[in-house]
Structures are given as C-alpha cells and as structure tokens.
C-alpha cells in the first residue's frame, strides 16, 4: 500500500524484487548519483545501475565505508566535492541506497547541495525501512555527540523492498525490530501483540510478517510526521528511549551497539524512569522487557558511569538549557514529554537498572 505524506512531499512505495526504475522515478532529472556503502554496492550495486540505466541520464556513484563512523562531515564533504566534480546541478537526483547511515548522510548531502536537491531512498535494512528513511531527518555525528548537524529535507520517494532483507544479518534485523517495538509502545498495542505472536516468523524473514510490521510502522511514522514535520510537539514521542540510546552510543564510541540495540536498552531505561516517577506500572516495565528479550535485543546497561550517562544525556539536542527532557510512558499507547526531569530521580532509576549490568 502506498503511503502519501502530502505535507512533506514524500511517498512511501512498496516494491518487489523486479521493480522497474521507469515505473517509480518518472520525473526528468538531469543526472543522478547513487550514494551507497561497500556492502550494498557489492551485493546490489550492479542490479540497481542496470535499472537506472533505463532513465537515460548520466549516472554516478559514491561509495562510502560501512557503518556509523562514516556519518561525519568529512564524508559529507567528500560527497559534495564528488557531486560537483561529476557536474551535478539543481535538477539532479541523489539516491540513498543502504541502511540508516546511508540514508542519513545521503539526505543531508542532498539537503545542502546547491541549497537542496531531490532525494530518493531505497532502504536496505529494517531500521531504514521502518524509521530512518521516513520523516526527513538526516545528518552527521560530531565527536561530541550523535546527529548534532543536519537538516530536515524530505525524500521525494522511499522505495521499500523487504526482499533486500534476505542478506541483512540477524543482528541488524533485531536492531530494526527495536524501532517497531517503539512504535507499538508509543501508539499501537496491537502491533506489540502482533510482534509477540509472530516474532519467530519475523526473525526467520517470513515475507508476509515482515510486510505487516513494515506497513504498520511506516503508517504510524508517516501519520506522526505529517502532523508535526519539524518536531514541535507530537513527533517527539518517537524519541521514546532515544535520549538514553544516543548517550549510550556516544559513550561506547558507536562500536559496542547497533542503533536499535542501544534503543532497546534506552527504552528499558525509559520504562524504569517512568515507573520510578510514578507514571507507569511494573507490569508495563516487564512487558516491554519481555518483548525486547523475545526479539533477542540487549536490555541491560553496559559498564559505563551513570554520572557520565546523565551528563551526556544533558547534551542531547532535544534539551533546552541542559535540562533533560524525556518521553515518559503512562501505559502502552500513552506517552508524554516531561521537561526538566529531576537528575537525582533519574540516577535512582538508572542505579536499579545498572544492578543488572552486562
């Protein structure tokens, strides 16, 4: 099912293995650059180039190294230099082909090049399909923190082909499931029920169950983004667990965890904090923990100093004047934003989680 985001100018389009570029990229562009990483290029680079040749426009490629460490201004600059050298102009198209790292950097590069050119994403990880490719957020990390530089630039199209997941690792799949769990917690108890019943099939890449969770997650994200593209209010609920996650990723140098793994730990921290603040029940905390464990996601705190964690959280870009604001859960499907969370209380909740450290 196509999902349109008219206010953002985006469209989410399901594709099958034999998709045809002429069916999906009908607009006339002067040229096109595919931004990808080494793994995606070696697996799918040729077949995409073959499809794009039908557009009969000059095609270019930029391949960056795999992983979060490529999400830097240095690599974005390298892309801009290459694009200018290739002769890309304001009618050119950027195609981000890969996981969330690639769509984040490709979106940023497209959003700034000549003050913004069109982007199309073809996400290849579950994380990309259900979250990173939708909503126009993009950017790069600074050494002092994650996603600190970026622009809001909505892709024209997001072409979603679950068949790409056949080659994605089980660890990556689990990481994407963390964001699906997030959607369930913030908005959709039924999605959580579906995950609970179908986790085995999902982890075995059973295509119908994948389509179900992708479709539902995309619909939830699209609906929230359309209501609040620039995150002035409701969109912030999608940050459930993420302030913890970003701090954990930064403090572990983006090496120990995949993004979704950090999100899983972060969501469990957020649940404990919600419980400690008296907003939610122990049952809620236990239920979310169970689903994350069912997906095979980590849920316990790594060996990092809690003071460092709180300090890092206070630098998150969602805060104002270094006061920590968090999304807090009341029950499944009901979360609220709380500004200026008491740091002593936060530490108390974190101490209880840290007693189960890995």
Ligand X SMILES: NC(=O)c1ccc[n+]([C@@H]2O[C@H](COP(=O)([O-])OP(=O)(O)OC[C@H]3O[C@@H](n4cnc5c(N)ncnc54)[C@H](O)[C@@H]3O)[C@@H](O)[C@H]2O)c1
Q: Summarize as ranges the residues that interact with ligand X (CB under 6 A).
A: 37, 39-40, 43, 66-68, 71, 98-102, 104, 124-125, 127-128, 131-132, 135, 137-138, 147, 164-165, 167-168, 172, 175, 258-259
The nearer residue to ligand X, 91 or 252, going by C-beta atoms, is 252
- For 104-168, the DSSP string reads HHHHHHHHHGGG--EEEEEE-SHHIIIIITSSSB--EEETTEEEEE--B---SEEEE-GGGGGGS
CB of 144 to ligand X, least distance (A): 16
The nearer residue to ligand X, 155 or 276, going by C-beta atoms, is 155
Pair 93, 120: CB distance under 8 Å: yes
The nearer residue to ligand X, 188 or 249, going by C-beta atoms, is 249
The nearer residue to ligand X, 65 or 193, going by C-beta atoms, is 65
The nearer residue to ligand X, 239 or 276, going by C-beta atoms, is 239
**CA 264/CA 292 separation, integer angstroms:** 7
CB of 112 to ligand X, least distance (A): 15
**CA 11/CA 27 separation, integer angstroms:** 14
SS (H, E, C) 209-261: HHHHHHHHHHHHHHHHHHHCCCCCCHHHHHHCCHHHHHHHHHHCCCCCCCHHH
The nearer residue to ligand X, 47 or 305, going by C-beta atoms, is 47
CB of 348 to ligand X, least distance (A): 29
Give the distance, in angstroms, between the CA of residue 27 and the centroid of all CA atoms in the same chain: 27
Q: Which residue is nearest to ligand X (CB)?
A: 100
CB of 333 to ligand X, least distance (A): 21
The nearer residue to ligand X, 147 or 274, going by C-beta atoms, is 147
The nearer residue to ligand X, 11 or 172, going by C-beta atoms, is 172
CB of 156 to ligand X, least distance (A): 16
339 dihedral zone (left: phi>0; alpha: psi -120 to 50; beta): beta
**CA 63/CA 79 separation, integer angstroms:** 9
CB of 129 to ligand X, least distance (A): 9
In order of 80, 132, 325, the CA distances from 115 in angstroms are 12, 22, 32
* Residue 14 half-sphere exposure toward CB, CA atoms < 13 A: 17
CB of 343 to ligand X, least distance (A): 25
> For the chain, what's the residue count?
358
CB of 136 to ligand X, least distance (A): 8
């Amino acid at each position: 099912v196509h999902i349109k985001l008219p206010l953002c100018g985006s469209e989410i389009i399901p594709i099958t293995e034999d998709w045809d570029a002429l069916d999906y990229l009908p607009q006339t562009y002067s040229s096109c650059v595919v931004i990808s990483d080494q793994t995606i290029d070696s697996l799918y680079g040729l077949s995409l180039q073959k499809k794009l040749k039908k557009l009969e426009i000059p095609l270019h490629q930029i391949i960056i190294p795999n992983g979060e460490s490529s999400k830097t201004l240095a690599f974005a600059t390298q892309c801009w230099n290459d694009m200018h050298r290739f002769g890309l102009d304001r009618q050119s198209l950027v195609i981000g082909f890969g996981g969330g790292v690639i769509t984040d950097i490709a979106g940023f590069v497209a959003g700034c090049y000549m003050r913004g050119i069109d982007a199309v994403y073809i996400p290849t990880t579950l994380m990309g399909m259900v979250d990173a490719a939708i909503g126009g957020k993009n950017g790069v990390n600074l050494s002092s923190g994650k996603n600190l530089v970026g622009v809001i630039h909505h892709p024209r199209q997001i072409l979603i082909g679950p068949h790409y997941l056949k080659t994605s690792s089980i660890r990556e799949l689990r990481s994407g499931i963390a964001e699906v769990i997030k959607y369930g917690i913030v908005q959709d108890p039924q999605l959580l029920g579906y995950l609970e019943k179908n986790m085995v099939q999902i982890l075995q890449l059973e295509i119908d169950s994948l389509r179900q969770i992708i479709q539902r997650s995309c619909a939830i994200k699209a609906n929230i983004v359309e209501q609040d593209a620039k995150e002035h209010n409701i969109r912030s609920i999608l940050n459930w667990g993420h302030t913890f996650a970003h701090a954990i990723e930064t403090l572990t140098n983006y090496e120990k965890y995949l993004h979704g793994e950090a999100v899983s730990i972060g969501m469990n921290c957020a649940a404990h904090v919600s419980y400690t603040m008296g907003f939610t029940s122990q049952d809620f905390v236990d239920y979310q923990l169970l689903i994350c464990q069912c997906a095979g996601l980590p849920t316990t705190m790594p060996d990092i100093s809690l003071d460092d964690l709180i300090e890092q959280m206070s630098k998150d870009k969602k805060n104002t004047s270094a006061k920590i604001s968090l999304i807090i859960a009341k029950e499944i499907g009901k979360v609220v934003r709380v500004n200026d969370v008491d740091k002593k209380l936060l530490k108390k909740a974190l101490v209880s989680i840290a007693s189960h450290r890995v």
